[in-house]
Amino acid sequence: MENIVDNKLGDASNFFTSDPSECVKIIKLKNDFTSGISTVPEMFAKTVDLYPDRTALMHQNEETGEWIPISYKNYKNRVEKVAKAFLKLGLEKNGKVAVIAFNSVEWFLSQLGVIHAGGQIVGVYGSNSAEACHYILEKCQANIVVVDEDYQLDKILKIKDKLPHLKAIIKTLPSSNTHEGVMSWKEIEEMDTDDYDQEYEKNLKEIKANSCCCLIFTSGTTGNPKGAMSSHDNIIFTVKNFIESYNFSHTSPEVSVSFLPLSHVAGSIIEIFVNIGIAGTVYFADKNALKGTLINTLLAARPTFIFGVPRVYEKLHAKISHDIENIGGLAKKITSWATNKAMNYHLNRFDEKSASAVSYFTAKTLILNKVKKKIGLERCRFLIVGAAPTNVDTIKFFLSMDLPIYELYGMTEVGLTFASHAGKVRLGSVGKHVPNIEAKILNPDKDGIGEICTRGRNSFMGYVFDIEKTREVFDDDLWLRSGDVGYIDKNGFLFLTGRIKELIITAGGENIPFLNIENAVLAECSAISNAFLIGDKRKFLTMLIALKTESDSNGVPQDELAEDSLHHMTNLGLNYKLLSEVLDAGPDEKILNLIQEAIDRANTKAASNAQKVQKFMLLPNDFNMHTGELGPTMKLKRGFVMQKYKKEIDEFYA
């Protein structure tokens, strides 16, 4: 391991910092292929020079529905304009622009504009309350806030007097009311900024590759969100790694759809920076994408790859299965033959076994390509899923549709990727660690399970204004502690078993790999949507079970039982259509038996008696964002669930 020296790097005395105005030393590992040092504006300029007329962004006119292209040349001109406007509005050196908005051209322009002006963007989840917005805006000392909808503006107006660094508020969408001091986006792009040309050029020249480029707050799954600073070098390294891992090339234009929250590391890195690196074209989905309109954008864009969180694929899985279920007898049989061929072909390929290519190609060309075309995925080479655990059934479903789906594991602190299935796949694992970084398991137990650690050029700079937490996350040899627990098998595949803050260590001292146990129960009964294990410092394990119910267009679970649950009701000779009917019946004994049998079957696979589930209860609603059990990236907030059902949990152990 050595420190890189280069004239594009600023003076640095440490490998990490909590001060956003400081530079850091860069870790270079022995076989690091990414020899060059560069900044995001340099990467952008290079792409614009190579492909000035290629379409960078596609957005839709809300009234006419027409798709409007923005070329790379035009994109860059607008970025420069926005950068100067931000400076004129009072963006300080290393100042922050916060954005609370759904994915849009204005989000991308703000991100690149502030970077070009020498500052950093801070994305804030649209679902945050005014208080949660205040926490982040105060922590990062934001100079400018960009919002889209009226209700987002209302949150900022409520807290603006408590934000001493705030100088301007910009609203991208038309307002129903005028508010003094709130500017429109049009005013930003039409501002006379000639007097800021020099300051802009000076700031741009002074950007160092080892200085802060982005400030991304973690999802706050285990506590308050932490502001992770990524340097230009972190981002360029990740982009190069991504391009190499997934074999992207400039020459064949890649097309993707922007719909993930851009305040999350995955949205920001893949949708903005990787796309610049590959000179790709990004289509903006509309704000109801996750409520069902994503398919319309997929049909318009016909993407060549997609990145999504597990929930996105679960929804697509449900929609396509439903469509297939409703096709006629013979066509259904043929489709089922084709999907089997595709799944076996890909599973064999993953296991490096030979597979019958002839019947697979017949199934692909004659049937599956047509099914994929109906959802705009016929050009899609692969899907990437990450940010939270994915159900193996969902993965197998997409393989059966001839859509290879690769897991990606990472976190904000490593600029997104740590391990991925790019190249080699092992179902149930999150893949092998990406090239040019190191991985190790800290203090492994007898089964090789311990904290997952990484070291490399993707390790972030530190948490903004929080040197204590920054020191805690790096050890003396610069290994970054992920907070996740897992093991690496003899072939180098990484398996996750839980998170340190959510570890279940029973009163008997046994460390419980809770994800494995929850997945084992889920695999035993298709009516179960969520199986939540409890047992930390307890004498035995218990479980909260949510049955599958329908969701409305906002993702809020309804009382109506979902198809999988109804199927079990029919098999049991029951007429229930609603979850409340099941619960009001006692809950119904036959359903309790169904779940008990699933748990018993899962228990037979338990590694020890301490890992067997002894009791369970049915929940009154499935987990979701609106009732607080899931965070903005759909990750389960275990602490919240424990608190919400504290009384019921205590009764298990009374």
Ligand X SMILES: Nc1ncnc2c1ncn2[C@@H]1O[C@H](COP(=O)(O)OP(=O)(O)OP(=O)(O)O)[C@@H](O)[C@H]1O
Total count of residues recorded for the chain: 654
The Cα–Cα gap between 521 and 119 comes to: 48
Residue 311 in contact with ligand X, rule: CB under 6 A: no
Residue 222 in contact with ligand X, rule: CB under 6 A: yes
H helix intervals, 99-161: 105-116, 130-140, 150-159
- Tell me the Cα Rg of the chain: 25
Omega of the bond leading into 41 within 30 degrees of 0 (cis): no
Phi, psi (degrees; rounded to nearest 5) at 408: -135, 130
Which segment (298-306, 371-379, 382-390, 606-614) binds ligand X by CB under 6 A? 382-390
Q: Tell me, by CB under 6 A, how many residues bind ligand X.
A: 27
- CA nearest to 119, candidates 142, 136, 101, 103: 142
Q: Is the Cβ of residue 83 or residue 384 nearer to ligand X in the bound state? A: 384
Residue 335 in contact with ligand X, rule: CB under 6 A: no
Q: Pattern 169-208, binding to ligand X, x per CB under 6 A?
A: ----------------------------------------
Q: Is the Cβ of residue 39 or residue 482 nearer to ligand X in the bound state? A: 482
The Cα–Cα gap between 48 and 68 comes to: 19
Cβ 637 to ligand X shortest distance, Å: 9
3-state secondary structure (DSSP) of residue 610? helix
Residue 573: exposure state from Cβ atoms within 10 A (0-12, 13-18, ≥19): exposed
- Among 259, 633, 634, 641, the residue binding ligand X under the rule CB under 6 A is 633
Q: Is the Cβ of residue 430 or residue 595 nearer to ligand X in the bound state? A: 430
- Among 387, 504, 520, 641, the residue binding ligand X under the rule CB under 6 A is 387
Residue 34 in contact with ligand X, rule: CB under 6 A: no
SS3 string of 327-382? CCHHHHHHHHHHHHHHHHHHHHHHCCCCCCHHHHHHHHHHHHHHHHHCCCCCCCCE
Please state, in angstroms and as integers, the Cα–Cα distance from residue 62 to each residue in 174, 235, 282, following that order: 12, 33, 17
Cβ 583 to ligand X shortest distance, Å: 31
Cβ 469 to ligand X shortest distance, Å: 10
Phi, psi (degrees; rounded to nearest 5) at 27: -80, 125
Which segment (272-280, 343-351, 409-417, 576-584) binds ligand X by CB under 6 A? 409-417
Positions 578 through 597 that interact with ligand X (CB under 6 A): none
Q: Is the Cβ of residue 41 or residue 225 nearer to ligand X in the bound state? A: 225
Residue 430 in contact with ligand X, rule: CB under 6 A: yes
Residue 516 in contact with ligand X, rule: CB under 6 A: no
- Among 225, 415, 535, 557, the residue binding ligand X under the rule CB under 6 A is 225
Residue 234 in contact with ligand X, rule: CB under 6 A: no
Cβ 384 to ligand X shortest distance, Å: 10
Residue 551 in contact with ligand X, rule: CB under 6 A: no
- CA nearest to 9, candidates 43, 36, 46, 31: 36
- Among 141, 218, 263, 497, the residue binding ligand X under the rule CB under 6 A is 218
- CA nearest to 622, candidates 540, 532, 538: 532
Structure tokens at 25: 């030393």
Cβ 136 to ligand X shortest distance, Å: 12
Residue 411 in contact with ligand X, rule: CB under 6 A: yes
Cβ 268 to ligand X shortest distance, Å: 11
- Among 78, 84, 134, 226, the residue binding ligand X under the rule CB under 6 A is 226
Cβ 617 to ligand X shortest distance, Å: 26
Residue 39 in contact with ligand X, rule: CB under 6 A: no
Q: Is the Cβ of residue 170 or residue 480 nearer to ligand X in the bound state? A: 480
SS3 string of 487-525? EECCCCCEEEEEEHHHCEECCCCCEECHHHHHHHHHHHC
Please state, in angstroms and as integers, the Cα–Cα distance from residue 272 to each residue in 54, 205, 216, 264, following that order: 16, 22, 14, 12
- Asked if 229 contacts 215 with a C-beta cutoff of 8 angstroms, the reply is yes
Which segment (119-127, 376-384, 479-487, 579-587) binds ligand X by CB under 6 A? 479-487
Residue 22 in contact with ligand X, rule: CB under 6 A: no
- Among 34, 482, 511, 529, the residue binding ligand X under the rule CB under 6 A is 482
Residue 219 in contact with ligand X, rule: CB under 6 A: yes
DSSP one-letter code for 126: T
Positions 248 through 277 that interact with ligand X (CB under 6 A): 265
Structure tokens at 72: 């790379």
- Asked if 111 contacts 158 with a C-beta cutoff of 8 angstroms, the reply is no
Which segment (112-120, 216-224, 288-296, 351-359) binds ligand X by CB under 6 A? 216-224
Cβ 291 to ligand X shortest distance, Å: 22
Residue 410 in contact with ligand X, rule: CB under 6 A: yes
Residue 421 in contact with ligand X, rule: CB under 6 A: no
Q: Pattern 388-407, binding to ligand X, x per CB under 6 A?
A: xx-----------------x
Residue 499 in contact with ligand X, rule: CB under 6 A: yes
Residue 314 in contact with ligand X, rule: CB under 6 A: no
The residues near 570 (Cβ < 8 Å, ≥ 6 apart) are: none
Please state, in angstroms and as integers, the Cα–Cα distance from residue 14 to each residue in 139, 252, 471, 516, 649, following that order: 23, 41, 12, 39, 47
Q: Is the Cβ of residue 223 or residue 628 nearer to ligand X in the bound state? A: 223
Binding site for ligand X (CB under 6 A): 218-223, 225-226, 265, 386-389, 407-412, 430, 482-484, 496, 499, 633, 635
